[in-house]
């Protein structure tokens, strides 16, 4: 797949996910869908022929690993800044607030710094590395969100019968 098409896919996914996070979403209704986008991105990234720079395989592998760790950390930070609550039926809901914007901005600044380090060292990083990092971010966000949802208790008092 061409670099331009990969860039369009990355921008579209990030815009879709970023905009969607500001609307309240039920975790039960988005269960399987939350894992589909990161899986598709990961498959697309791993099919990329130039995921590692052939001229600098070790250094590009290090940059790829750092990018993946950055994606995992930013996804976890994103999940921890997401507001969660339950409704009367016990369904867990999530909604992102403006705190998440700061997480995204920090992630972008660090990502740009990582790209700058790669350029300074003469390492070519294709769009596959960025796509894999976004997939890691979404997977981490989803995993931490579902883990947090297990401990969310209703904010109201449930009457005890009997």
Q: Is 112 exposed, middle or buried (0-12, 13-18, 19+ CB in 10 A)?
A: exposed
Q: Would residue 154 count as lying in a domain?
A: no
**Cβ atoms 74, 105 nearer than 8 A:** no
pLDDT at 162: 44
By residue range, what is the domain housing residue 103?
3-149
The pLDDT tens digits along the chain (162 residues) read: 566 777 788 788 878 877 888 888 888 756 667 788 899 889 988 888 888 888 888 999 999 999 999 999 999 999 999 988 888 788 888 888 888 888 888 988 998 999 899 989 898 888 888 889 989 999 999 999 989 988 877 666 554 444
Question: What pLDDT does 79 receive?
Answer: 92
> Rounded CA gap, 24 and 14, in Å?
18
Residue-level pLDDT at 49 = 80
Dihedral sign, CA of 51, 57, 63, 66? positive
Q: Is 95 helix (H, G, I), strand (E, B) or coil?
A: strand
Whether residue 155 is contained in a domain is answered as no
CA distance 131 to 47: 11
Buried b (16+ CB within 10 A) or exposed e, 59-86: bbeebbebbbebbbbbbbbbbeebeeeb
pLDDT score of 36: 87
The reported pLDDT for the residue numbered 155 is: 63
pLDDT of res. 144: 94
Token pair for 133: 């990092």
The alpha carbon of 3 is separated from its chain's Cα centroid by a whole number of angstroms, namely: 20
Residue 38, domain member (yes or no): yes
Q: How far apart are CA 69 and CA 65, in angstroms?
A: 6
Q: Are 8 and 82 in contact (CB under 8 A)?
A: no
Q: Which of 49, 35, 109, 134 is nearest to 117 (CA)?
A: 109
Q: What is the pLDDT of residue 31?
A: 63
What pLDDT, on the 0 to 100 scale, is given for residue 157? 55
For the stretch 149-152, contacts whose Cβ atoms lie closer than 8 Å and that sit 24 or more positions apart, written own/partner, are 149/27, 149/84, 149/92, 149/94, 152/84, 152/85, 152/86, 152/92
Structurally, the chain folds into a number of domains equal to 1
Whole-model pTM: value is: 0.83
- Check residue 27 and give its pLDDT: 81
């Amino acid at each position: 797949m061409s670099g331009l098409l990969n860039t369009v896919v990355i921008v579209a996914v990030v815009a879709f996910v970023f905009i969607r996070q500001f609307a309240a979403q039920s975790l039960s209704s988005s269960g399987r869908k939350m894992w589909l986008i990161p899986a598709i991105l990961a498959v697309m990234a791993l099919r990329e022929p130039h995921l590692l720079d052939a001229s600098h395989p070790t250094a590009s592998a290090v940059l790829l690993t750092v990018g993946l760790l950055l994606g995992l950390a930013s996804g976890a930070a994103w999940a921890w800044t997401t507001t969660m609550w339950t409704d009367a039926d016990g369904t867990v809901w999530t909604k992102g607030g403006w705190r998440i914007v700061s997480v995204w901005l920090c992630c972008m600044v660090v990502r740009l710094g990582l790209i700058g380090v790669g350029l300074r060292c003469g390492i070519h990083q294709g769009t596959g590395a960025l796509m894999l990092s976004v997939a890691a971010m979404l997977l981490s966000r989803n995993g931490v969100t579902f883990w947090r949802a297990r401990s969310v208790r209703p904010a109201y008092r449930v009457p005890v019968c009997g």
